[in-house]
Structure 1
Amino acid sequence: MQFIKEHTSLPVPQVFAYEFDENNSVGAAFILMELLPGSVAIDALGGYEAHRGVIPKEHRQNFYRTVAKCHVQLTSLRLPKIGTIVRNSEGGYVCGPLPGIGGPFDTATAFFEAWADSVKFKWDKETITRMMQRGPVPAEQIVAIIEDFPSQIKAIASRLSLCDEGPFPLAHDDFLHSNIMVDEETFDVTGIIDWEGACTVPYELVAFPDFLTAMPVSFDLPQKYDRDGQPFDEELRETWRERGEYIEMVKLVELQDSVLSACLSCKRNQAIAYSYGAYTSVGKLGFYDRVMIEL
């Protein structure tokens, strides 16, 4: 967080002291940090019980605008390698290894190859089979798709990224309204928390905030879309509209370059970002093979 505080005006808490070793005078690991004003957005105005975890419509536009300003600043922070942010002995900042993957990586190719070699899907074959007992496609087909995805990524790793070398942008790995604090009257962003997993990433993994996540059409069941590729579900249609509006908000505040809006506007990039997150973190069952065909 100190790196972010020193290089941007993003509202992140100042850390006063921390200790990871339990053998201290307190008797437990701790972190002492600044109390930020406002409330976590997902808990504001009555919380989940009042609005089911969704930002109230009357506050969305202003919330999205202020999040976009933060997002642009976040993406403008770039380092030569892909990895976590660590402080070196000279007091500067360098990239360190990514948990479970390794690194730091000089190229996007090296990152995707290492990811493919190390990633483990959340569910095993037996669990997937149970989950797909009444599914629209045979369980064996989904199991094969999931098992093949990492090797397919590795096979095209050298041409997966359109910008193989750095500098690479910083990303918050859980950029969700449960980690964004707001003023409850205006829904202006007052703080961003939970930076534990922040790291630099390939440009293909620069994604929308999680509250604007949408599954690529190729990943989903085709019967959910009309002949023009538009979703039948009205909530998804609304998300698509809001994603377009968010891109325009980003463009209005981009000063250094248009990297963020370009990444968000690129369907190929967003298909990669979604599939990566769905496989790595969520354990989402879907048509990864169809996404690969489009790459």
Structure 2
Amino acid sequence: MEAPAKTFPSERWSSFALCESDEEEACLKAFIEHALDILGVSVTISEPFSIGQSWCCFELVAPDREGFIIARLQIPQDPESATSGGADNYAIECEVATMAFVRDNVKGVTVPQVYAYEGPGTSRAAKVGAVYMLIEGFFGNTAADVELQLYNLPIATQEHFIAQWTAIQASLASHTFSQIGSICHYTPSTGPTIGPLASASSFPTAGPFSSAHAYFTALAESYLSTALSRPTPSRFATLGALIFRAIVRGTPLFSSPGPFPLNHMDLGSQNLLIDPATYDILAVIDWEMASPAPWPTYTSYPMPFPSYHSDRETAAWLYDPAHVAHVNVARQLGAQRLYRRGFLDAERRLRGEGRPLGRSIAAGLEGDDAGRVLFVAEKLGCWAMEEELTYELVRLGFGLGGEEAREFMREVEAEFRKDPL
């Protein structure tokens, strides 16, 4: 029986025709020359490429198609400069250090090997015109690219995939630190050094933080600053950020004690590389946001099965088979149960290995309002549901609904107009 064909990531990439000038073609040739130094053989570069807000990725494939490298090119934020600014470069350095730490220390988590990192000032970065990394490629693609709505998969497939997913997160969480920040430096001999958060360029302060309350206070201020900086500020995006700040300041939800578990911070299905045929997780990618973080960052459901609606709304949809949302809600809740069970199993294995977690992630998913508040607050500027999400914050944080909630929001707005600080 023939072995299944290997799936290259570029088979699902849809961006084409980047090379419209001699300068752009020279960039790609520079990647190929560097890959030749690493692999010892000439490579071809994929025609399709993948592009996001900060990175552009190309595939460099050896002639025997047995191995390949991903060229991950940072998109310069300043069009007049060949490389991005200091904050962006610090973030890349933190990502490289974090990946090295995880590769050396975290059992059961596969991280792509970084073959080369060409930072600002190096001759290769100057030749390409941007900072870049050359990293290990894996045959397969992200789980989100293969199936965006994972809860539509057969139950057995969901169980297999989610068991791996939760085991990875639990293994990361078994490594704890005394401060909240980014791993800015790591060597096997010196261990990890925690510095300011690489993902917090908009924070009034970026740490490192010694308490969860200090971290969430800075986070709340950053959400408010972002809402107010919109060209046309949204009333409910701004009000939602104010409500989140009030929850952080006036409730104990975000005062969880340390030590603080290592968290990828963006471990949705979009950052898990899988074998499409088996749903085996091959590697975890995109570590730029990873950091030791407070426990509530672990106790909300990731995409694609979030929980931001009120329990009352969810129950109404679940028990009304005629409702348009009934099927999807039932499937999402089923996936959430599998996700919680996955953590229970992972936590049991860690205890058996003598590596118990500081607290149960599974239990937090069941009853931690802090995780739900955090998830809702993160989505205020992303979805066209800002009014609904703001009311949900009031309900979760202060237990208010109806006219009481509206009155509370009017008071918050009035106080902000009187004293914006």
Could you tell me the TM-score, scaled by structure 2's length?
A: 0.57
What is aligned with 1:247? 340
- Partner of 1:160, secondary structure, is coil
Offset, 1:173: 2.3
Unaligned runs of 5+ in 1: 45-50, 129-139
In structure 2, C-alpha distance between the alignment counterparts of 1:95 and 1:80, rounded to whole Å: 9
- Partner of 1:291, secondary structure, is helix
In structure 1, C-alpha distance between the alignment counterparts of 2:269 and 2:185, rounded to whole Å: 28
Which of residues 250, 268, 271 is equivalent to 2:372?
271
The answer on 1:118 being equivalent to 2:200 is no
Paired amino acid for 2:144: I
What is aligned with 1:131? none
Offset, 1:143: 5.7
Offset, 1:291: 2.4
Q: Sort the Cα spacing of 1:223 and 1:76 in 2 relative to 1 into closer, same or farther, 3 A.
A: closer
Q: Which stretch of structure 1 is more off in the superposition, 77-86 or 21-30?
A: 21-30
Q: Sort the Cα spacing of 1:284 and 1:197 in 2 relative to 1 into closer, same or farther, 3 A.
A: farther
Offset, 1:19: 1.9
What is aligned with 1:84? 182
The answer on 1:95 being equivalent to 2:188 is no
How many correspondences in the alignment? 271
Q: Which one scores higher on RCO, CA 8 angstroms, separation ≥ 6?
A: 1
Q: Where in structure 2 are the equivalents of 1:138-153 lying within 5 Å?
A: 142=236, 145-153=239-247
| 1:230-261, Cα deviation, whole Å (9 max, x unpaired) | 99522123212221121112211212235221
Offset, 1:118: 3.1
In structure 2, C-alpha distance between the alignment counterparts of 1:282 and 1:22, rounded to whole Å: 39
Which of residues 123, 129, 132 is equivalent to 1:30?
132
Which of residues 279, 289, 294 is equivalent to 2:394?
289
In structure 2, C-alpha distance between the alignment counterparts of 1:187 and 1:213, rounded to whole Å: 21
Could you tell me the TM-score, scaled by structure 1's length?
A: 0.79
What is aligned with 1:132? none
Offset, 1:274: 1.1
- Partner of 2:270, secondary structure, is coil
In structure 2, C-alpha distance between the alignment counterparts of 1:180 and 1:192, rounded to whole Å: 5
Structure 1 or 2, whichever has the larger Rg, is 2
The answer on whether the counterparts of 1:125 and 1:143 sit within 8 Å (CA) in structure 2 is no
Which of residues 245, 254, 261 is equivalent to 2:362?
261
Q: Where in structure 2 are the equivalents of 1:199-238 lying within 5 Å?
A: 199-206=291-298, 207-217=300-310, 225-226=315-316, 233-234=325-326, 235-238=328-331
In structure 1, C-alpha distance between the alignment counterparts of 2:373 and 2:263, rounded to whole Å: 15
Q: Sort the Cα spacing of 1:3 and 1:216 in 2 relative to 1 into closer, same or farther, 3 A.
A: farther
Q: Sort the Cα spacing of 1:41 and 1:116 in 2 relative to 1 into closer, same or farther, 3 A.
A: closer
Offset, 1:125: 8.2
What is aligned with 1:137? none
What is aligned with 1:69? 167
Q: Sort the Cα spacing of 1:180 and 1:223 in 2 relative to 1 into closer, same or farther, 3 A.
A: closer
Q: Sort the Cα spacing of 1:75 and 1:242 in 2 relative to 1 into closer, same or farther, 3 A.
A: same
Which of residues 256, 260, 268 is equivalent to 1:176?
268
